[in-house]
Amino acid sequence: MGDSDAGKFVEETISGNKVVLFSKTTCPHCVQAKGLLTSLGCKFTSFELDQMHNGSAIQDYLGKTTGARTVPRVFIGGECIGGASDTMKLHEDGRLMNLIG
């Protein structure tokens, strides 16, 4: 999968789902972000990049478009809100659920 295919997949995914996480199964920060969303009863779509044949290309695309290649990359309403610490901060500030709607 090339950059254009990875980009198309990412853009279609984030436009078709309210909350999306690009994650890795071995990442404790990803587990933390998914745990928070689950505890809040939030429905989200998650993709485990380390289990996808095109995960590296997707991660490269995310790095180019969001400014960070790290996971998780959390999107709400088509916008990247950042990673786990950004998600936790939004929750602590009482703004996360407002974004999720």
Summarised one tens digit per residue, pLDDT across range 48-98 is 999 999 999 999 999 999 999 999 999 999 999 999 999 999 999 999 999
pLDDT of 3 strictly over 70: no
Name all domains of the chain by residue range, CATH numbers in brackets: 3-100 (3.40.30.10)
Summarised one tens digit per residue, pLDDT across range 7-59 is 999 999 999 999 999 999 999 999 999 999 999 999 999 999 999 999 999 99
Strands across the sheet with 79-82, in order?
45-48, 19-23, 73-76, 79-82
Model's pTM, two decimal places?
A: 0.94
